[in-house]
């Protein structure tokens, strides 16, 4: 996705990075802007450790103010709780809840700070 700073943004399971595809050496412009998002191996807010999250990939979109909205998927589709569900899903609780949209304000590109 092309960001408001005209750089190309991409993601891995745990990061979002950007680079200038038109630079003479695009690899030298790679900059990680968000780190340590829940990926494949996660620990839920209740302390449960999982080796394989069901939704590790990140989708994201910019708003008109340049803020970045990131889809952080949950570890499963059913919260690993048999029906009837009688308590909240641990993954959706706390300050770093999964199955939610996280909001970030990416740092300004070096060229736009001059």
| In a domain? residue 5 | no
pLDDT band at 13 (very low <50, low <70, confident <90, very high): confident
Domain count for the chain:
1
Name the DSSP letter for residue 14.
S
pLDDT surpasses 60 at 25 = yes
| In a domain? residue 102 | yes
Q: Mind listing the pLDDT tens digit for each residue in 46-57?
A: 777 878 777 778
| In a domain? residue 21 | no
| In a domain? residue 84 | yes
| In a domain? residue 76 | yes
| In a domain? residue 33 | no
Q: Specify the pLDDT at position 81.
A: 63
Give me the domain span that covers residue 56: 39-113
**Minimum mean pLDDT range among 1-10, 28-37, 50-59, 92-101:** 92-101
pLDDT band at 102 (very low <50, low <70, confident <90, very high): confident
Q: In whole angstroms, what is the distance from residue 20 CA to residue 26 CA?
A: 6
| In a domain? residue 74 | yes
Helix, strand, or coil (residue 47): coil
């Amino acid at each position: 996705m092309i960001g408001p700073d005209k750089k190309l943004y991409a993601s891995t399971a745990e990061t979002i990075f950007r680079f200038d595809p038109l630079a003479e050496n695009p690899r030298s412009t790679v900059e990680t802007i968000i780190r340590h998002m829940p990926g494949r191996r996660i620990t839920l807010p209740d302390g449960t450790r999982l080796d394989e999250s069901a939704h590790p990939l990140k989708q994201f979109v910019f708003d008109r103010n340049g803020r970045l909205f990131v889809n952080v998927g949950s570890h499963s589709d059913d919260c690993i709780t048999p029906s009837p569900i009688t308590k909240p899903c641990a993954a959706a609780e706390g300050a770093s809840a999964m199955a939610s949209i996280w909001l970030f304000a990416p740092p300004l590109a070096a060229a736009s700070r001059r």
